[in-house]
Amino acid sequence: MRLAEFVTYYLIAVNLVAFIAFGLDKARAENGSWRISEGTLLMWAFLGGSIGAYAGRSAFRHKTRKQPFCTMLHSIAFMHLLLVGLLQSAIWVGLGDRVNWGTGDGQSFASAYAN
């Protein structure tokens, strides 16, 4: 399995777990039973599930006004956006050195991307 494929499956799984965790915690809050800790919810978001956490938060209308939880979730999502931007920049800079952008002396984009 390639790294990109592994990362894709990982992100799908961790976002699904984060989404489900918000739903379970909301149901347990309504029933007055044992709850999932805020730390656990934030951990799933931190591990890559910030999209699932936001989706669960919105779908179940859970923890939408609780502070400092909201601030922490926003900070985690911001860090994820920065990480994605940095990775994208690194990929483009790395490809920029290997791709023929019209000078006639480098590889094609497709062959550089395949390596």
What are the two backbone dihedrals, phi and then psi, of residue 107, each rounded to the nearest 5 degrees? -80, 165
In this prediction, residue 77 carries a pLDDT of 95
Per-residue pLDDT, 44: 96
Alpha helices in the chain (DSSP H): 3-31, 38-44, 50-60, 69-96, 109-114
Question: Where exactly are the structural domains of the chain?
Answer: 3-104
Q: What is the pLDDT of residues 35-75, one digit of tens each?
A: 999 999 999 999 999 999 999 999 988 887 788 988 999 99
- Give percent above pLDDT 90 in the chain: 58
Instruction: Supply the mean pLDDT for the chain.
Output: 85
Of residues 45 and 104, more confidence is placed in 45
Name the pLDDT band for 93 (thresholds 50, 70, 90): confident
CA distance 114 to 24: 42
